[in-house]
Structure 1
């Protein structure tokens, strides 16, 4: 019974993982940009800003990640079945590439140059892609692990 729900559980976990990590990454890149301009940012301010962004930025970013994962995870599953192995790597790469495509689409449609400021640099884009890759990796772990002990 549990195995039937694993793809959905894995999808939700992947979206949450990639969204929360991505939100934290973008916050820290934004704060680093301010620091580079000479603004002093205390640890308490970093924590407060991260918390604020988790509440404010996460819903928008989470919807983008959820849409991206709806395409990336099934595509990765098909590639994994075709290759016969490498699920963790394939799902991680698929999520990272999916986020890159999603960012490109959103930035093309957004009225401002970039919707997510952290993606203005290569480093920021790669860090955001890495957070998505961790979500994809987590999806593969949950979806491909045998959970026989949890069957109802």
Structure 2
């Protein structure tokens, strides 16, 4: 039951923030590339594009991120049990690794970068989203663990 009441909400909060950041970074990377070739984009168009991307990417990229983070956090949870003082660092690294592996695997399998915002410097922005997600999960999970004296 602790999984459903404490860890699952922590994971969902982390995933939602991570996906939102990844989608935002993707959208702004694409907009920036359009501006670089001389296309004028108004603030309203930027906002609409960002919201449309968030909704459009949710079923696919959102699911990919959820699976990648779940696997990374599960493995990291096992390492964390042996090294609890490195919890935050481990989960941040797990978030970055989850994104790196997912993006590289997708590109290798499909031979194309399906997330346009993951090209060039956008790739590193996606990794930052993963790092933030790992940090948030570590903080929320640590609060749960310390409440139950399982350190």
The TM-score, its normalising length taken from structure 1, stands at 0.88
SS at match of 1:114: coil
Stretches of structure 2 that go unaligned for 5 or more consecutive residues are: none
Give matches, 1:1-152, under 5 Å. Answer: 5-110=5-110, 113-121=112-120, 123-146=121-144
Instruction: Identify unmatched segments of 5+ residues in structure 1.
Output: none
Q: 1 CA distance for matches of 2:103 and 2:23?
A: 14
Which has the higher relative contact order, 1 or 2, with Cα contacts under 8 A spaced 6 or more apart? 1
Q: Which moved more, 1:127-136 or 1:76-85?
A: 76-85
Q: What per-residue deviation string (whole Å, max 9, x for no partner) do you get for residues 39-80 of structure 1? A: 111111100100111111122111001110121001221222
* 1:77-100 deviation per Cα after TM superposition (whole angstroms, max 9, x unaligned): 122222231211210111111110
Give the alignment's TM-score, normalised by structure 2.
0.89
RMSD of aligned C-alpha atoms? 1.7
Say if 1:80 and 1:87, in contact at 8 Å, map to a contact too: yes
SS in 2 for 1:63: helix
Give the distance between the partners of 2:139 and 2:127, measured in 1 at CA: 18
